[in-house]
């Protein structure tokens, strides 16, 4: 399957929206549909991004911001910026080298990368391409055949992955109509996801979802920890109740995520879930016994700074980095650089010199909170 190249020069891409536009113009319709599709009427997908327009900064002035340090640690591992690449499948739909570009681009810019179970390059090859001190996470969809998941977890630990991201919001595939209308053909799926069982009339969603174990429960986290020996991040938390369970079951991190709006249309955005936690279980944030990552909808450095002000440890991005693959490793690097520059600029403009100085006092969330809870903001 030959892949087209972008008509737009890389240096003409000034923000993440530009990369999305170029990807839509460049990718084959079926490949674009797989990356861009979301559930039903796309309300959740769109709101994931637009929700940040309802938050306001409260900048402090006369602060010496000649230097702004956006570095942080994620699970104890230093990251140049407070964001990482989220797991996303089928990288070879956009580039012949697939996820190798993501590993190398992340390494060059000093950020972490969570590699999908359904990566289109073998995990051995991906781990072999990383820099010596680079941090990779292994994303797990628990297979109905638990022995296959055990094998994958053991391999991940041996390859030096530093945590397991357990995706928990996909017991059944969402209704992604754009993907269903275009449906990747068998050749495309085989190329981008070697070893997948392909049926000519099944969508890409069905191909990657058919083996997921819908019986997965909280008690299974102990099994994952025992087999892997690695820290656990639960991906797909959408309520304060499940945030509390993450703490109860002792996981190291939770990703507030609605799968980019690809599962249930009409769910809370991750930012709203974070505000739920602040309102009803503030000790989760204040005591910092667990790290919190926002996933889904982040498109600007200002979004990242807002999330950190409200208690997030870091954020993750999936689609923008997949879109960047049309430019290969250079595209991945440029997306990370653009975001990093935007984060540092926003920090300076609100009067913060380090991630630790990003506090709730720098934002006003009254518009969002009134819709969520009624009444005024408690921040």
Evaluate the CA torsion angle 195, 200, 205, 210 in order and state its sign. negative
Q: Are 363 and 310 in contact, with CB atoms under 8 Å apart? A: yes
Q: Are 358 and 69 in contact, with CB atoms under 8 Å apart? A: no
- Residue 298 assigned as binding residue: yes
φ/ψ region of 11 (left if φ > 0, alpha if ψ in -120 to 50, else beta) reads alpha
- Residue 87 assigned as binding residue: yes
Phi, psi of 73 (to 5 degrees): -120, 140
- Residue 207 assigned as binding residue: no
- Residue 34 assigned as binding residue: yes
- Residue 167 assigned as binding residue: yes
Look at the block and give the residue holding tokens 């397991």: 164
Residue 129 burial (CB count, 10 A): 18
Q: To which H or E segment does residue 79 belong? A: strand 77-79
- Residue 257 assigned as binding residue: yes
- Residue 278 assigned as binding residue: no
Q: Are 199 and 232 in contact, with CB atoms under 8 Å apart? A: no
- Residue 295 assigned as binding residue: yes
259 catalytically annotated: yes
**DSSP readout, 274-301?**
HHHHHHH-HHHHHS-SSEEEEES---SH
Under DSSP, is residue 114 helix (H, G, I), strand (E, B) or coil?
Answer: strand
- Residue 89 assigned as binding residue: yes
- Residue 319 assigned as binding residue: yes
Q: Are 278 and 294 in contact, with CB atoms under 8 Å apart? A: no
- Residue 371 assigned as binding residue: no
Q: How buried is 53 (Cβ within 10 angstroms: 0-12 exposed, 13-18 middle, 19+ buried)? A: exposed
CA–CA distance, 235 with 293 (Å, rounded to integer)? 9
Q: How buried is 208 (Cβ within 10 angstroms: 0-12 exposed, 13-18 middle, 19+ buried)? A: buried
- Residue 324 assigned as binding residue: no
Evaluate the CA torsion angle 210, 39, 234, 214 in order and state its sign. negative
User: Of the residues 112, 118, 123, 259, which is catalytic?
Assistant: 259
- Residue 40 assigned as binding residue: no
Q: Which residues are annotated as a binding site for glyoxylate?
A: 34, 141, 167, 176, 259, 262
The residues annotated with a catalytic role in the active site are 259
Q: Which residues are annotated as a binding site?
A: 34, 87-89, 116, 139, 141, 167, 176, 235, 257, 259, 262, 295-299, 318-319
Q: Which residues are annotated as a binding site for FMN?
A: 87-89, 116, 139, 235, 257, 295-299, 318-319
């Amino acid at each position: 399957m030959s892949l087209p190249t972008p008509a737009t020069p890389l240096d003409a891409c000034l923000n993440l929206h530009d990369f999305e536009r170029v990807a839509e113009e460049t990718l084959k319709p079926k490949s674009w549909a797989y990356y861009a599709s979301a559930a039903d009427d796309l309300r959740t997908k769109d709101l994931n991004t637009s929700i940040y327009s309802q938050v306001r900064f409260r900048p402090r002035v006369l602060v010496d911001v000649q230097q702004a340090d956006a570095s942080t640690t994620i699970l104890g591992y230093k990251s140049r910026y407070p964001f990482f690449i989220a797991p996303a499948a089928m990288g070879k739909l956009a580039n012949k080298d697939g996820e190798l570009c993501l590993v190398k681009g992340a390494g060059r810019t000093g950020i972490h990368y969570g590699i999908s179970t359904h990566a289109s390059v073998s995990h051995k090859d991906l781990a072999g391409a990383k820099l010596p001190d680079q941090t990779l996470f292994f994303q797990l969809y628990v297979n109905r055949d638990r022995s296959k998941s055990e094998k994958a977890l053991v391999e991940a630990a041996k390859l030096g992955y530093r945590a397991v991201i357990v995706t928990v919001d996909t017991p059944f595939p969402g209704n992604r109509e754009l993907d269903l209308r275009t449906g990747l053909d068998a050749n495309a799926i085989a190329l981008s996801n070697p070893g997948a069982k392909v049926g000519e009339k099944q969508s890409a969603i069905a191909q990657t979802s058919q083996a997921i174990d819908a019986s997965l429960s909280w008690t299974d986290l102990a099994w994952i920890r025992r087999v892997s020996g690695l820290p656990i991040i639960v991906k797909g938390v959408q309520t304060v109740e499940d945030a509390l369970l993450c703490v109860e079951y002792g996981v190291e991190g939770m990703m507030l995520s609605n799968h980019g709006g690809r599962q249930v249309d009409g769910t809370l955005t991750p930012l709203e879930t974070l505000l739920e936690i602040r309102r009803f279980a503030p000790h989760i944030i204040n005591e910092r016994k667990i790290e919190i990552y926002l996933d889904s909808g982040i498109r600007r450095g200002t979004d990242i700074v807002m999330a950190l002000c409200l208690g997030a440890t870091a954020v993750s991005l999936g689609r923008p980095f997949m879109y960047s693959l049309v430019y290969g490793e250079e595209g991945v690097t440029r997306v990370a650089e653009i975001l990093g520059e935007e984060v540092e600029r926003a920090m300076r403009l609100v009067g913060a010199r380090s991630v630790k100085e990003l506090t709730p006092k720098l934002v006003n969330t009254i518009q969002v909170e009134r819709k969520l809870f009624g009444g005024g903001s408690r921040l």
